[in-house]
Amino acid sequence: MARICVYCGSNSGARPVYQEAARELAAVLLRHDYELVYGGADKGIMGVIADAMLELGGKVHGVIPKMLCEKELAHQNLTELHIVASMHERKTMMAALSDGFIALPGGYGTLEELIEMITWGQLKFHDKPCGLLNVDGYFDHLLAYLDHATAEGFLRVENRKMLLCDDTAAGLLRQFEAYSAPKVEKWAH
Ligand code: AMP
């Protein structure tokens, strides 16, 4: 069974549209027969997507550091909850368990996790798809920054294109299934 990792806010966001998008993504993941891998918390958008998957009969794998678990932030009803020693161990396990990576709206944690995965992809440590679900234009400023980095010569066009983006979950999953990693090496001239 294939699994998609979703990085998303431990807060709920200022508008209901973010929670609605998380529920919609859960439904689309299930329609494509994917299981969910995520950070294991029951708070914010993280809790919303986990609950939506479980309510629809899907499987959810959480990976949470012991320290956060002890603060009672862990979801208690997941299919599987991995408790790990550190944030580094968590990210490594989430990456190994998953066949692709999606960011829903979130803050520092969400951005850091997704950017780490696309960085590993760019260096060819993996060839799995990474994408943004651009709910109501939430990531427009990030996309503008990445276009700027490309125009200024810090990001290759091929590597810029690796980051998939769609404003609907169904559209993003279609792009995931058509994805193949670029052949060019990041350091080639
Ligand atoms: P943020 O976007 O800053 O809210 O961080 C969310 C991301 O970082 C999630 O994908 C989690 O993997 C991780 N994270 C941040 N805060 C928590 C928390 N309180 N409990 C569990 N994971 C968290």
Is residue 125 very low, low, confident or very high in pLDDT (cuts 50, 70, 90)?
very high
Ligand 1 pocket, mutate which of 5, 42, 46 (most atoms under 8 A from CB): 46
Would you say the CB of residue 7 lies under 6 angstroms from ligand 1?
yes
**Residue nearest to ligand 1 atom 20, measured at CA:** 41
CATH of domain 2-137+164-176: 3.40.50.450
CB 60 within 8 A of CB 79: yes
**Residue nearest to ligand 1 atom 13, measured at CA:** 109
- Domains in the chain: boundaries: 2-137+164-176
How many A from CA of 65 to the centre of ligand 1?
11
Is residue 152 very low, low, confident or very high in pLDDT (cuts 50, 70, 90)?
very high
Rounded to the nearest 10 degrees, the angle between the axes of helix 169-178 and helix 16-31 is 40
Q: Which atom of ligand 1 is nearest to the CA of 63?
A: 12
Distance, CA of 95 to CA of 114 (rounded, Å): 10
Query: pLDDT tens digits, residue range 3-19?
Result: 999 999 999 999 999 99
Query: pLDDT tens digits, residue range 8-63?
Result: 999 999 999 999 999 999 999 999 999 999 999 999 999 999 999 999 999 999 99
CB 49 within 8 A of CB 12: no
Residue listed under structure tokens 């993504």: 25
Q: Which atom of ligand 1 is nearest to the CA of 106?
A: 2
Length of the chain: 189
pLDDT at position 187, please? 64
**Residue nearest to ligand 1 atom 22, measured at CA:** 39
CB 48 within 8 A of CB 38: no
